[in-house]
Structure 1
Amino acid sequence: MSSEERREQIIEAAIAVFGAKGYVGTTTDDVAKAASVSQPYVVRLFGTKENLFLAALDSALEELLAAFATVPAASDLHTRGELMGQAYLRLLEVRGLHQLLSHAFLLGAHPVIGPAARDGFARVWRYLRHEAGFTSEEAQKFLAMGMLINTMLGLRLTEEYGRDAGMTELFDECFPVSIGLVLEEAPRAHEPW
């Protein structure tokens, strides 16, 4: 593997591990083990856990915006929103991405991660308003649904589907078209990430 391929492998592992364990709960050794590399190699490439988290956050945001950009411009904003929502759910293939974004958005007081997370959140807002063409109300509702989805994924509620009537109803309401994808791809409570 080239060093760039190895770097991407480490970032992919970092997204998964930070997504599952958060910034504080993750060590560079955790990420190294998940990426099947040595911890000194991770430190040599990224320097610090903070830099590694920032690289993972940047990658997650780039993947998110790239997924949104795959949705063709349509005259019907409702259809565009539905397609962007489906693109967001397909990002479940990137293990930990949704949870990593949630963790980052909770680190507003961190002197380095906070500004990067705020900038990333603002980039998403600007994309929704200017590229996607959502009204401010539509953008707010889209973000609110995304945060609800992230919460459900972070709680690893998929195992409650079919066992708890309220959670089953919530899943059916949130994922009327994509329930199969969510139930198949979402992390389970027993999985480390």
Structure 2
Amino acid sequence: MSSEERRDQIVAAAIAVFGARGYEGTTTDDVARTAGVSQPYVVRLFRSKENLFLAAMQSSLDQLMQVFRVALADAASDLPVSKRIGEAYVDLLSTRGLHQTLSHAWLLGGHPVIGPAARKGFAQVWRFFRDEAGLDADQARMFLAEGMLINVMIGMRLVDDYGSDPSITELFRACFPTELPHILDIAPRGDEPW
């Protein structure tokens, strides 16, 4: 495996672990074990947990923007732009921890290094909706609000209560009227580490 492939492997593991445990709850050793490498190798490559988190956050943001742009460019689709982008967002659930890593980043606004990087990334998402997707400010706000709701639902592993709690069942049906079977299939469960 090349060093770039090994780095990508570590970043993917970091996304999963940071997504599940957050910045404070994750160690470089946790990420190393998940990636199948030694902890000194992770430290040698990234120098600190902070740099590792920044790499995981940036990779998550890059993946998010890439799928948004692919969905936007799909002129053959009969779906409206916001629906195509929404489906792309939901499909990213297959990348374990991606949504939650970004959520953790947004919550670290007071961190002296991660905070500014997270704010810059969040502004990038907003500018995509306004400048590239052509949504007005209210539509962009609604899209971000719904995305945050989905992140909370996934992070809380609410899928575990689908079918047994009427309120949660209703919430899932309201949020995923056409993608529900797909969501129920790919959403992480409470007994999964990430």
Name the TM-score class by shorter chain.
over 0.9
One-letter code of the match for 1:104?
A
One-letter code of the match for 1:68?
F
Could you say which residue in structure 2 is the equivalent of 1:31? 31
Deviations 1:121-170 (A, max 9, x none): 00000000000000000000000000000000010000111111110000
Q: Is the contact made by 2:72 and 2:85 (CA closer than 8 Å) also made in structure 1?
A: no
Please give the secondary structure, in 1, of the residue aligned with 2:135.
coil
Could you say which residue in structure 1 is the equivalent of 2:102? 101
One-letter code of the match for 1:188?
R
Could you say which residue in structure 1 is the equivalent of 2:127? 126
Aligned mates of 1:35, 1:118 — CA distance in 2: 28
Deviations 1:31-81 (A, max 9, x none): 00110110001001100000000000000000000010011456x9x8110
Q: Is the contact made by 2:10 and 2:42 (CA closer than 8 Å) also made in structure 1?
A: yes
Aligned mates of 2:52, 2:181 — CA distance in 1: 33
- Structure 1 runs, 4 residues or longer, greater than 6 Å off: none
Which runs of structure 2 are paired with 1:15-164 in the superposition (5 Å)?
15-73=15-73, 79-164=80-165
Aligned mates of 2:38, 2:181 — CA distance in 1: 37
One-letter code of the match for 2:22?
G
Report how far residue 185 of structure 1 moved: 1.1
Aligned mates of 1:61, 1:111 — CA distance in 2: 19
Aligned mates of 1:103, 1:180 — CA distance in 2: 27
Q: Which runs of 5+ in 1 are unaligned?
A: none
Aligned mates of 2:36, 2:191 — CA distance in 1: 21
Q: Is the contact made by 2:72 and 2:133 (CA closer than 8 Å) also made in structure 1?
A: no
Aligned mates of 1:85, 1:67 — CA distance in 2: 10
Report how far residue 182 of structure 1 moved: 1.2
One-letter code of the match for 1:23?
Y
Aligned mates of 1:65, 1:180 — CA distance in 2: 25
Identify the range of structure 1 (147-156 vs 65-74) with the bigger mean alpha-carbon deviation: 65-74
TM-score for both structures, normalised by structure 1: 0.96
Please give the secondary structure, in 2, of the residue aligned with 1:24.
coil
TM-score for both structures, normalised by structure 2: 0.96
CA RMSD of aligned residues (A): 1.2
Aligned mates of 1:36, 1:181 — CA distance in 2: 30
Report how far residue 120 of structure 1 moved: 0.3
One-letter code of the match for 1:163?
S
- Give the percent of matched residue pairs that are identical in Structure 1 and Structure 2: 62
Report how far residue 91 of structure 1 moved: 0.3
Please give the secondary structure, in 2, of the residue aligned with 1:115.
helix
Q: 2:17 aligned with 1:13, yes or no?
A: no
